[in-house]
A and B are shown apart, each in its own frame.
Chain A
Amino acid sequence: MSGAGGGSALAFAWRGLRRGWRSGELVVLSLALIVAGAATVAVGMFSARVQQAVERGAGDAIGADAVIEAHDPLADSLTAGIHALGLRTVAVVEFASVVAPVAGEQVQLSSIKAVAPGFPLRGTVKIADQPYGQPRVAGGVPAPGETWIDAHLWTALNLAPGALLQLGGTTLKVTAAIVDEPGRGGAFAEMAPELMMNAADLPASQLLTAGSRAQYLLEVGGEPAAIAAAQRLPLPTGTRMRTPQDSRPEIQQSLKRAHQFLDIAALATLLLAASAVALSARLHSLRMRNEVAVLKCLGASRGFVLRGLVLQQLLLGLAAGGAGAGAGALGQAVLGHLVAPLLNTALPPAPWTPVPLALGLVVLLLAGFALPALAEAASTPPVQVFQRGVRGSHLGRMGLAATLAATAALAVWQAGSAQLAAYVLAGAAGTAALLAGLGWLLVLALAPLRRGGVAWRFGLGNIARRRGVAVGQVVALGIALLALLLVTVVRSDLLASWQGRLPPRTPNEFLIGIQPDQVGPLEKFFAAHGYQNLDLWPMVRARLAALNGKPVTADSFPDPETRRWINREFNLTWTQDFGDDNQLIAGRWWGAAGQGQPWLSVDQYAVDHLKLRIGDTLTLEIAGKQTTLQVYNTRKVRWDSFRPNFFLAVPPGVLEDSGAVQWITSFYLPPAQRSLLRELVRQFPNVTALDLDAALAQVRSIVDRIVAALELLFGATLAAGVVVMLAVIEGSRADRARETALLRALGASSRVILQGLLAEYAALGLLAGGVAAIAAQALAWVLAVRVFEIPYGPRPVLWLAGAASGCLLVTAIGWLSLRGVLRTPPRQVLASA
């Protein structure tokens, strides 16, 4: 064994691998690596697919995967360039025009939308025979000579079905009322009564002449990669391209939260797999020691042994990681097939990037969690050949550092955000400490319970006598159970709380364009119909003119998103108090002291994009007049509350007389009371009602899609938890076999031995499960309040359920994996030295 050569180290590694596999020592380690690989690949692939599906769903909201907007007809070359990328397009022209019934005197300024066949590329247009009637999906676009108009225009013109409308030089027959169409629900304030017509009728209307103010839209649909390529195409000045990501903050926020759920579940799985790797590697390392000592006696160097062990782990890691990646890819494919019908969409194909990532992760797991223990084994002194038995190992400083570094890397890698990683890790560390403390107390408390049958006494005695080992087992099992509970808690409680953010009576109707003198009558109208305390907000539109006294335009900002945002007008409100969907980030609320002060409260989005600090000044142009305001506080708006909210707000007494004030409100309208809208629009013809049911349903469907992904992860986490328990139990197998043989020799029946084992594992499971349930509650509370910003209360039933399920699970796994050991023949006691 002079063997310093890599070849013989490889042979040594290979032999060790085969032997370890046959003896079962490396089986648990392999299982842990397989689970880690499978979880990474499954999560990576499936969440990428769901994200794409969700983005496509968001595309439904604007009717396309991207929209190109221009003030002039788009050049054919641009359209051709987009077609060349394999994308589909449909042209839409929007402009304002006066509409009048052929038979009648009313006229109404309306937003005209001329659409070509194929509109919309994503989502559907919903129409009804008359306003607020039974909605149905429109099969296409209005036929030439026909038109669909929204309820607002219908009511304003007091039409009957089949009425004829004069639009410029042409006459159109009203055949349906528009209930919902992609693109509604975005910028509320820009909504005017709408008329949709076939683009073929445009020339006859003679409304579009050179210099007329129209917006030419090209809706684009296709694969994400092609959309991304289209975004890089050079656009003429005055032309811009927007995607669903540019708008819809409520969907963005839901998506972000959804990914946090996935990340936490995946991280829990990986931490579990890591502990299983650490446990089984330590066991393997302990068993390797005598062999290492003998090898060294025969002349092997520490380097040779270490190289052999590292090679062995690398081979194992690649094999197990590859198997896991395959299992994960297969699992997510099966799940994709199962959930695609539920998601109401075909899932895009899975990307393959998670596979090399998973292999890298498995190597990281081995380096951080298995290598330290193996390095300890490699440094076993040769003199140990003269010492009987195996000594316990203590992780050296380097090993501990490697493990900690790997844990941190793992957490940040998987959680994506350092904050989330820190919470989960702090939770895990705190939990381990809590579990150890509680476990110790409970183990002590068990001692007086050692009464009754010999089996019970012996089983509990095993725990009470081996206090240190038992506490270690409670911690390991507790962490496994904690992860299981956390995932179930996340699945039910947190998801319910999250969905609870959109409670049943979430506002589903917005009223916009309310004139100041209509506020009183409107409140009276609603009070008469049983709606008290209408949530009314004033609104003025402003344009940013200067920042800290320096004039700015869109060109002052390099970031394209900021430029687009600056180009639009901001909506401002005034208020003394903010709703609970606004969270203070910096500064103070102004309360009554703000009255008349030129102060500004700014949402985090504006703070980030304009790089604002408390005390900065913004000069806003409102109805032609400039007003300078000072940033007094910053806040974070929960956009998915579906209540009116504003990027910018000022105290009362500042903007009341700025002119151009409109009011908006949102309220919940039960489906049965939809006729109220007809009455409302008749009394307040200039007020537009926006139906948000579709947008709400969309946010809810995103949540549902993520739940499907969590189901998959739940399986992986469960597997990881079971592997940890197996690793813990595997560690005690040799001792238990010896003990069983001895007990039998001393006259214990197999029933007594089995009952003792069951009593021991039932008690361990009960302790670990109870403690894990309490810890899961605490951790879920921290996550709910600090990360997801949703309310969360204690769930005592969960504690009982945790203890009971821990008891059942641990007992079952203990029995299943050790029932062979219970058959250890008593003669072994004479054979073993």
Chain B
Amino acid sequence: MTAATDSARLAGAAPLKAAVSAGSATRGRDGEMVWAEGVVKRINIRSGAGGDDKSAAESVLAILDGLSLNVDAGETVAIVGTSGSGKTTLLSLLAGLDLPTEGEIRLAGTSLNQLDEDGRARLRAGRVGFVFQSFQLLSGLTALENVMLPAELAGQADARERARATLERVGVGGRMGHYPHQLSGGEQQRVAIARAYAAQPRLLFADEPTGNLDLATGARIADLLFELNRGNGTTLVLVTHDMNLARRCGRVLTLTGGRLHAA
């Protein structure tokens, strides 16, 4: 593992700042896939017994507090942390699903701060894949149709062929016409992984991909994930609290106190 050298590239490192100032406002340096600088995420929390309780008061909670991160193309990075440490919030910010309160994030060299919701969606289409803890397959769609979806949205003409091939690769080729509720948990996550890779994205975000699976199934799913990642040269950002899974990544970062630290 290269954890020691990785820590040098952690947020706030000097060489990166130079690269940014040399480039344009929205373009990062070549090879940079995810870049975050001084990211703060605060949320307002209403406390009190009930929603309509007059005594309810609002307080501000800082989940992320000046966090920085740099992930290069082809890297695999695991982010670990305790429950409530803000892993999922970080993931949603890095993927452009949400915007930080302060700080800047670039995805594939493009600053997310200057893009609106749709602009961020366009940036993701075909470039970013997801694997979720709860699979997030659309219940009305068959396995094949679920896997076709990202390629369809990216306007790729061969969506169906790609989807078929990827499903074969993840070992559920025989269940293409089945609906999610007809599949086991492991099979559902295989379909979800197939969906993540079918459009051959450059970047994959995985949120506790084995969290809902038993140990043996989880291990097989993890094997599949890394195997596909190697084959495609995809950049992987993985959020988990499973250290065994995290250690399979090139770098492991721990989220505590709203910042990332090398493990």
Residues of chain B within 8 A of A210, CB atoms compared: none
The answer to whether A825 touches B97, judged by C-beta atoms less than 8 angstroms apart, is yes
The answer to whether A747 touches B150, judged by C-beta atoms less than 8 angstroms apart, is yes
The answer to whether B117 touches A750, judged by C-beta atoms less than 8 angstroms apart, is yes
The answer to whether A746 touches B125, judged by C-beta atoms less than 8 angstroms apart, is yes
Residues of chain A within 8 A of B122, CB atoms compared: 747, 749
CA distance in complex: A830, B97 (Å): 9
The answer to whether A830 touches B88, judged by C-beta atoms less than 8 angstroms apart, is yes
CA distance in complex: A745, B93 (Å): 11
Stretch at the interface among A35-43, A165-173, A598-606, A735-743: A735-743
Encoded as 1 (CB less than 8 Å from any B CB) or 0, chain A from 125 to 160 comes to: 000000000000000000000000000000000000
B138 CB–A CB distance under 8 Å: yes
Which of B52, B98, B133 is A827 in contact with, Cβ under 8 Å? B98
Residues of chain B within 8 A of A747, CB atoms compared: 121-128, 150, 153-154
In A718-775, which residues have CB < 8 Å from any B CB? Answer: 735, 738-739, 742-752
The answer to whether B98 touches A735, judged by C-beta atoms less than 8 angstroms apart, is no
Which of B51, B97, B140, B155 is A745 in contact with, Cβ under 8 Å? B97
Q: Which of A457, A752, A827 has the most CB of B within 10 A?
A: A827
In A455-471, which residues have CB < 8 Å from any B CB? Answer: 457-458, 461-462, 465-466, 469
A832 CB–B CB distance under 8 Å: yes
Encoded as 1 (CB less than 8 Å from any A CB) or 0, chain B from 130 to 141 comes to: 101110101111
B152 CB–A CB distance under 8 Å: yes
Residues of chain B within 8 A of A829, CB atoms compared: 97, 130, 132, 136
Which of A466, A739, A826 is B121 in contact with, Cβ under 8 Å? A826
CA distance in complex: A833, B212 (Å): 10
Residues of chain B within 8 A of A22, CB atoms compared: 51-52
Shortest Cβ gap from B241 to chain A (Å): 15
A519 CB–B CB distance under 8 Å: no
Interface band, chain A: 20 to 34
Residues of chain B within 8 A of A466, CB atoms compared: 140
Shortest Cβ gap from B89 to chain A (Å): 8
B172 CB–A CB distance under 8 Å: no
B170 CB–A CB distance under 8 Å: no
Residues of chain B within 8 A of A752, CB atoms compared: 153
A831 CB–B CB distance under 8 Å: yes
The answer to whether A827 touches B124, judged by C-beta atoms less than 8 angstroms apart, is no
B221 CB–A CB distance under 8 Å: no
Residues of chain B within 8 A of A458, CB atoms compared: 152-153
Residues on A close to B: CB < 8 A?
22, 454, 457-458, 461-462, 465-466, 469, 735, 738-739, 742-752, 825-827, 829-833
CA distance in complex: A826, B88 (Å): 13
The answer to whether B124 touches A745, judged by C-beta atoms less than 8 angstroms apart, is yes
Closest residue on chain A to residue B125 by CB atoms: A747
Closest residue on chain A to residue B154 by CB atoms: A747
Residues of chain B within 8 A of A830, CB atoms compared: 88, 91-92, 97, 132, 207
Closest residue on chain A to residue B129 by CB atoms: A746
Residues of chain B within 8 A of A738, CB atoms compared: 136
The answer to whether B124 touches A746, judged by C-beta atoms less than 8 angstroms apart, is yes
Residues of chain B within 8 A of A832, CB atoms compared: 134, 136
Q: Contacts A462-B140, A466-B140, A747-B127 given: A833-B97 contact, CB under 8 Å?
A: no
Residues on B close to A: CB < 8 A?
51-52, 88, 91-92, 95, 97-98, 117-118, 121-128, 130, 132-134, 136, 138-142, 145, 149-150, 152-155, 207
The answer to whether A746 touches B149, judged by C-beta atoms less than 8 angstroms apart, is yes
Shortest Cβ gap from A453 to chain B (Å): 9
Extra 8 A-B pairs, beta carbons < 8 Å, given A466-B140, A743-B153, A746-B125: A454-B155, A465-B142, A465-B145, A469-B140, A744-B117, A749-B122, A826-B97, A826-B98
The answer to whether A746 touches B153, judged by C-beta atoms less than 8 angstroms apart, is yes
Residues of chain A within 8 A of B149, CB atoms compared: 743, 746
Shortest Cβ gap from B71 to chain A (Å): 18
Closest residue on chain A to residue B142 by CB atoms: A465
The answer to whether B118 touches A749, judged by C-beta atoms less than 8 angstroms apart, is yes
Q: Contacts A465-B142, A830-B207 given: A748-B121 contact, CB under 8 Å?
A: yes
The answer to whether A751 touches B118, judged by C-beta atoms less than 8 angstroms apart, is yes
Residues of chain A within 8 A of B133, CB atoms compared: 833
CA distance in complex: A809, B117 (Å): 29
Residues of chain B within 8 A of A744, CB atoms compared: 97, 117, 121
Q: Contacts A465-B140, A465-B142, A831-B88 given: A745-B118 contact, CB under 8 Å?
A: no
Q: Name 9 interchain pairs, CB-CB below 8 A, sorted by A.
A: A465-B140, A465-B142, A743-B153, A746-B124, A747-B124, A747-B127, A748-B153, A825-B97, A826-B121
CA distance in complex: A465, B122 (Å): 25
CA distance in complex: A830, B126 (Å): 19
Which of B136, B141, B152, B207 is A457 in contact with, Cβ under 8 Å? B152
Q: Which of A458, A461, A745, A747 has the most CB of B within 10 A?
A: A747
Q: Which of B88, B132, B138, B153 has the most CB of A within 10 A?
A: B153
CA distance in complex: A11, B235 (Å): 55
Q: Which of B91, B123, B124 has the most CB of A within 10 A?
A: B124
Which of B88, B95, B121 is A749 in contact with, Cβ under 8 Å? B121
Residues of chain A within 8 A of B88, CB atoms compared: 830-831
Q: Which of B98, B123, B136, B154 has the most CB of A within 10 A?
A: B136
Closest residue on chain B to residue A748 by CB atoms: B153
The answer to whether A833 touches B92, judged by C-beta atoms less than 8 angstroms apart, is no
Residues of chain A within 8 A of B132, CB atoms compared: 829-830
The answer to whether B130 touches A745, judged by C-beta atoms less than 8 angstroms apart, is yes
